[in-house]
Amino acid sequence: MRGAIEAGGGISPEEFPDWQAELVHLQRLIELSDLRPLLDSWEVWSTAFVRAENTLHWGTSGWVDPTLYATVYAFMDRHDAPPEARATVDLMRAYSLGEWGRAAAAANRLVGPVADAEQWIPVRLLLDLAVVSNLEVGQTAAARNAVDVLTPHTDRAEWNVRNRLLAALVAQAESGEGD
């Protein structure tokens, strides 16, 4: 996937048809990043960015693709991206690099709009990233806010293990345990 972005496209091996779908998606994101008049919605663009970013960086930690981020930041600068679009990109980049303060600030910028049904980033992903990044910088109240505000908007059941784990991590931080 990373090689394809630098080559401007590519074709996946036949035995991996899902890769081809992701390559096409990535190519469309890059094309949209060059052709602002085709962009109808920054929310749609942000969602497409998150998908491409996840595909490129799935399973990596401490590294982000410089070509993708250079393209995306230049696009946002050229076309006066709204703060929520920039926060989405900042969150994904900062979280991948372990830049917790920057990730927490970006996540906190998105919690309210996403809870109000704006589609900047999938709710479940934002919940996970907001809780972890805020706890990493000791912002327990912001982590609690993310749990309280976003959990009802996920499609996870109330008893979902992931939601319960996030809530337990916040409760542990609130009680001062684990210090």
Residue 72: CB atoms within 10 Å: 25
Encode the chain (179 residues) as per-residue pLDDT tens digits. Answer: 455 555 555 554 455 556 556 665 566 666 565 555 545 688 988 988 898 888 776 766 778 888 888 888 998 998 889 999 999 999 999 999 999 999 999 999 999 999 999 999 999 999 999 999 999 999 999 999 999 999 999 988 888 999 999 999 999 999 987 55
Residue with tokens 């372990």: 98
* Geometric angle at alpha carbon 118, from 149 and 1, rounded to 5°: 105
Q: Which amino acid is at 67?
A: T
- Spatial separation of the C-alpha atoms in residues 97 and 92, rounded to whole Å: 9
- Spatial separation of the C-alpha atoms in residues 61 and 52, rounded to whole Å: 16
Q: Where are the domains of the chain?
A: 1-59, 82-179
pTM of the predicted protein model: 0.79
Query: Are 114 and 123 within 8 A, CB to CB?
Result: yes
